[in-house]
Structure 1
């Protein structure tokens, strides 16, 4: 399964902790991430990860293109709902593509827990 990992700056630590906690699960899949998030995940966990550009520089759109080409199966996108993002249209487009192609997207820790359990049970 191909899994995309994305996090806004104020949520990166939350995503890193989540991936580290579930490293065994993530190690069984192909991982893709936006630039800084992917670098930090790799440094923390040593998991191999394909890194796209940083989100504001087009990384969200690169992952969106993979979703549109049915090359991403699941997205963990820890969003910061309290901080305005300069690339918000890209974020909205990525989430819209997830809806169009019926790709599950966890945008917070609560949904991420549900989604990781579904992955463990092979329900995704």
Structure 2
């Protein structure tokens, strides 16, 4: 069963730091029932990896995070064009664009957007999506 059976299409931003990109791809694969009909926005490299692994997903790749992709997702949050933000961060690596990351997570909080920074919290959001719309 897919989300579209409820008439609802989720709009989700998927972002992953370098050390977490493969985990993001695997996690999306584990949750295909949710993402098959979702509209996905993703920063450049992560979006490219998702499309390579799952060419049938509706992924809109934006710019790379440090080149403005984080800000593009921030704009989507401000315009209330997202239903969730999943951002797999790597807390053990230095972040050259740490300010952008903080701004993005701050916007998600300001706009009360469900957001997750790890697979376990992302699973809670996906569980809620299933319960609400499947």
- Bin of the TM-score, shorter chain as denominator length: over 0.9
Number of corresponding residues = 123
Alignment check: 8 A CA contact 2:38 2:58 kept: no
After TM superposition, list the pairs within 5 Å mapping 1:1-20 onto structure 2. Answer: 1-20=10-29
Alignment check: 8 A CA contact 2:85 2:113 kept: yes
Out of 71, 86, 90, the position equivalent to 2:100 is: 90
State the alpha-carbon separation in 2 of the partners of residues 122 and 38 from structure 1: 26
Instruction: State TM-score, norm by structure 2.
Output: 0.89
Show structure 2 runs of 5+ residues with no match.
Answer: 1-9
Out of 14, 22, 32, the position equivalent to 2:31 is: 22
The SS at the match of 1:72 is coil
Instruction: State TM-score, norm by structure 1.
Output: 0.96
State the alpha-carbon separation in 1 of the partners of residues 58 and 39 from structure 2: 8
Partner of 1:44: 53
State the alpha-carbon separation in 1 of the partners of residues 37 and 46 from structure 2: 19
Partner of 1:57: 67
Large movers: runs of 4+ above 2 Å: none
Out of 43, 61, 65, the position equivalent to 1:34 is: 43
The SS at the match of 1:4 is strand
Alignment check: 8 A CA contact 1:32 1:49 kept: yes
Larger Rg: 2
CA-based RMSD:
1.0
| 1:76-99 deviations in Å (ceiling 9; x for gaps) | 100000111111101000000000
State the alpha-carbon separation in 1 of the partners of residues 126 and 83 from structure 2: 13
